[in-house]
Structure 1
Amino acid sequence: MPEIDLPTVIFAIVALFVAWKLRSVLGMRQDSDRPGELMAPLRRAPGPASAPVAQPDAAPSAPVSQPPADRWKGVAEPNPGVWSGLDAIASADRSFSPEAFLSGAKVAYDMVVHAFAAGDSDALKSLMAPEAFANFESAIHARADAGHTMSTTVVSIDNATIASAALAGQTARVSVRFAAKLASVTRDAHGAVVDGAPNAVVDHIDLWTFARDIRSRDPNWQLTATESER
């Protein structure tokens, strides 16, 4: 009987639980300061992670009878263009809930940042559309080829607001501006620090854009663009 590698089995169980938990938050189907190295792929503007979306039983969007400034207060930046975009999306997709969307988007942000640092291509692939995944995977391979390893902690996500929204045909696009504190360090094969600092917490401002075909029964939103603003 082959010997069982207990640590590997335990790690696999934990990984499966994390993946299941993330999918339950994201509403995904089972079938389906120094930015440095950490944010390298995030600077490539076009680039897709699955973002959480409103579940079928999520609270409905704000009543259209309210003024736009009140209707989207607390979830979107004060911009008439953003409000009109959200109105269009909410009218076309009655299940859309900006609160649920933002809540899940924070989870997606956390998971993508950690998966990238860990070099977990499988996790990223399940969360991202091909173009964005290719950017992240390329950075992961470059890091591995250099013999570097990375450790990142999302200390906090201080804010997440909708910065833009639009409905183009049947495709809804929503950009979220994240303000987060990250601690990241990259080491070479000998353990020497080559980027970041073990105990340094750095403020980051990132703009991620999610898209979804509102005709699809799949509730998945995909991250279609990422940009590091700071």
Structure 2
Amino acid sequence: MTFGTIFFIIVAAIVLFQLRNVLGRRTGNERQPFDPYTRPEKKVDGPTQQGNVITLPSRREGTVIEAVAAEPYAEIDSIVPVGDPVNAELRRVQDADASFAPKQFLEGVKVAYEMIVTAFATGDRKTLRGLLSQEAYQGFESAITDRESRNETMTSVFIGIDNARIVSAAVRDREVLVTVNLVSQLISSVKSATGELVDGDPETVVEVRDVWTFARDVRSRDPNWKLVETQSA
């Protein structure tokens, strides 16, 4: 063995000794290498169910959905007392037509009433055709034609509705029907071709009581109700 060989062996031994001191030996307790794509585990206080780390919030009581589910007829009960036959009839209507809301329905009836009364006075057949059933329209149109044949002119001033109250309701086949008692204030008069007063009074407000029935096809996509029958209270 030459001197050079012995020298390299000594140098290699010294280097290995230094590396062992710097790096140390593995004991099994070393920190794991950092992995930037692995989330650190979080400590969870309290027991978890089926290993869920995040506990879902419990269902709150008193929510709107629960209220509706608990009292689906609350709006009906607010306008017609429980025990009244009309209450039971309206419940059947709501069962057949889930979109039925009695308060909104009554507001729509008030608007339709004014439109129909005004359209009849002016002979506006187009408006009447959109608000009336075919049978009801024929009756209104016949009265307008008869008035026109005598060259009479009708004037109607709508003052307002004092009361609108549901008095009956029914479900017939695919139709739901609701009848409303209406008390309104009108100024109405009819004059002849020569200007003579034929009916009513152009300066007097009168109370008019009507009972109108509206219907809607529950299978139709058209949400509108139409007037199907009229009578005086």
Normalising by structure 1, report the TM-score.
0.67
Match of 1:91 among 65, 89, 95: 95
Q: Contact 2:160–2:186 (CA<8 Å) still a contact in 1?
A: yes
Cα distance between partner residues in 2 of 1:172 and 1:64 = 23
Q: CA deviation digits over 1:10-53, x for unaligned, max 9? A: xxxxxxxxxxxxxxxxxxxxxxxxxxxxxxxxxxxxxxxxxxxx
Q: 1:190 to 1:74 in 2, by over 3 A?
A: farther
**Identity, % of aligned pairs?**
43
For 2:196, the aligned partner's letter is A
Q: Contact 1:115–1:121 (CA<8 Å) still a contact in 2?
A: yes
Q: 1:71 to 1:126 in 2, by over 3 A?
A: closer
Residue 223 of structure 2 aligns to a residue whose secondary structure is coil
* Residue in 2 that maps onto 1:121: 125
* Residue in 1 that maps onto 2:107: 103
Q: Contact 1:82–1:166 (CA<8 Å) still a contact in 2?
A: no
Structure showing greater radius of gyration is 2
Q: Are residues 1:187 and 2:198 paired?
A: no
Q: Contact 2:160–2:185 (CA<8 Å) still a contact in 1?
A: yes
* Residue in 1 that maps onto 2:218: 214
Normalising by structure 2, report the TM-score.
0.66
Count of residue pairs the alignment pairs up: 169
Q: Contact 1:160–1:178 (CA<8 Å) still a contact in 2?
A: yes
What is the deviation of 1:93?
2.1
For 2:118, the aligned partner's letter is H
Aligned-residue CA RMSD (Å): 2.5
Q: Contact 1:76–1:161 (CA<8 Å) still a contact in 2?
A: no
Q: Give the gaps of 5 or more residues in structure 2.
A: 1-63
> Relative contact order (alpha carbons < 8 A, sep ≥ 6): 1 or 2 greater?
1
Q: 1:71 to 1:127 in 2, by over 3 A?
A: closer
What is the deviation of 1:213?
1.5
* Residue in 1 that maps onto 2:43: none
Q: Are residues 1:169 and 2:176 paired?
A: no
For 2:156, the aligned partner's letter is T
What is the deviation of 1:73?
4.8
